[in-house]
Structure 1
Amino acid sequence: MLVLHTWTTPNGRKVPILLEELGLSYEIHFVDIGRDEQFQKDFLGVSPNGKIPALVDHGAEDGPLSIFESGAILTYLADKYHGFLAPSGHARWKAQEWLWWQVASLGPMLGQLGFFAVRSKEKAPLAIDRFTQECGRLLGVMEGRLAKCPYLGGEEYSIADIACYPWMVGATTMLKDALGRHLDGKPAIDRWMAALAGRPAVQRGMAIKPPVGL
């Protein structure tokens, strides 16, 4: 049994997308980060950093295995179930390259922009400008890659695309006003987003939400 601890954030939707793409059965435990449930003792036993998502694989070879950090979870599942990550060669490492680009750059920068430009009641113009410019630069990097190949890892859809997609949905919706012109003139990104949005597993993963009343 796979048990996923997650919430309805960009990071929280990556793993459900992959689980749906792999056609796996799994159980979701929603961790309401708005109520600081990520800092409860039971969850910290699964994710010591107090962040979602986290996965517990009760069917792991040497007994139950807890994994936190979305990039590690995506790689683990892709390797164990042989899907959406090449087992070796250039294709594997290009997908890993762009996966970690998302984890280290795209996600953190969009997250900071979201805080300073949208969620913070007190606006800090210097911070907003700093993160807007850096996010614009990263969107240019992504556009350049996707102008050369259909997917971030190359010719095949992979966990790199799965990792980036929920963040790009956020960039083009919640952060649309903040990013402004940086979203314009990105036909390769637009094409890529349309392709992923049309995948049924992506739609199911993006639609996760806690039961009413939770």
Structure 2
Amino acid sequence: MQIKTLFLGMGLILAGFNLSAQNKVNEHLATAKSQYAAKNLEDTRFALQQALTEVDIMIGKLILEKMPAQWSDMKAIIDKDEHVGSSQGFAGVYVFRNYESSAEPKKTAEITLINDSPLLAGVNAFLSMPMAVALSGRKTIKVDGYKGMLERVENAQPTEYNINFPFGQSLLSFRFQGIDDENTIIKLVDEIPVGEIIKLAN
């Protein structure tokens, strides 16, 4: 991709963000342009990487805004929110939100979105093989037009369910503990704007 095309593409992306967020990215883009003009390609690449990281941070914040603060009888633990997660060694968008109920028995839920998840290949393989669906005891569900894999973790105490939606090179994952009914799990996921979150991440 030519550098000018990349600058143009970044400019189009920025149009969807607030002014403060745009300013941070524009600073890195200005540095990249000046370094490119001076033929300092290594510094150009570094500045562009910084700009892309800022964009990922902004996308992560927008995705968190799509997740409810109160989810059924579970409350979001806002101070545990994460986005981008470069310290965890992941590139691109990384988002995490945790939920807990206050009443006993306690219920918990997690929503995670991650690029290049190690689970991605396995989930895609499962969803593309109808025979595997029939034999594994797992299920395929669809929310907002996106297929996902529902799995009950064997012998887990408390009861644990996982639902994974693959898209592109990313995975949107839900993990529930302390909820025994599968239909309740599916209804909870239906309350989340899965399609909107995936579109933002893309």
Is the TM value for this pair above 0.5? no
Which is bigger in relative contact order (C-alpha 8 A, separation at least 6)?
A: 1
More strand per residue: 1 or 2? 2
Q: In terms of Rg, which structure is larger?
A: 2
TM-score of the superposed pair, with normalisation by structure 1? 0.30
More helix per residue: 1 or 2? 1
TM-score of the superposed pair, with normalisation by structure 2? 0.31
